[in-house]
Amino acid sequence: QVQLVESGGGLVQPGGSLRLSCTASGRVFSISDMGWYRQAPGKQRELVGAITRGGSTNYADSVKGRFTISRDNAKNTVYLQINSLKPEDTAVYYCNAKVQTYSSGGYLVTVDYWGRGTQVTVSS
């Protein structure tokens, strides 16, 4: 079993910053791609940014230049630095990871895991 746990959300004023963290624990052999998604009320979940194990990144156009994704492979952790926050960034932010783990039969498999989300609210 693998768990992803996010932290770092909260209430922040427009123009402020936050740093989100997400750590994978449990039966983790390795992790390939990791990413952050967000879902605002009444909207579909959307990709914010993603990072490969080697550190290559891609971002949604709406966050380019303001959000930075990074990871620490030794800690199985991905980060999202959010700067210049806007009210439209208000959403639940979810961590996603493609985890190589052992099945009950002892085989190495790749499974897509999600965290439970952390709320980011941007308001004055």
CA separation (Å) from 85 to 19, 77, 81, 102, 109? 11, 23, 10, 39, 38
Residue 26 has pLDDT above 90, yes or no: yes
**pLDDT at residue 1, as a whole number:** 87
Q: Residue 53 has what DSSP assignment?
A: T
How many Å apart are CA 26 and CA 63, to the nearest integer? Answer: 31
Dihedral Cα 20, 115, 33, 98, nearest 10 deg = 160
Give me the pLDDT at residue 106, please.
86
Q: What is the pLDDT of residue 103?
A: 87
CB atoms closer than 10 angstroms to residue 64? 10
Which of the four pLDDT bands, split at 50, 70 and 90, describes residue 75? very high
- Residue 18's pLDDT is 97
What integer pLDDT is reported at residue 104 of this predicted model? 87
What confidence tens digit (pLDDT) does each residue in 29-56 have? Answer: 999 999 999 999 999 999 999 999 999 9
Q: What is the pLDDT of residue 7?
A: 95
Reported as a single tens digit per residue, the pLDDT across 97-123 is 999 999 888 899 999 999 999 999 999
Neighbours of 75 (CB within 10 A): 11
What are the tokens at 81? 């630095």
Q: Is the pLDDT of residue 84 over 90?
A: yes
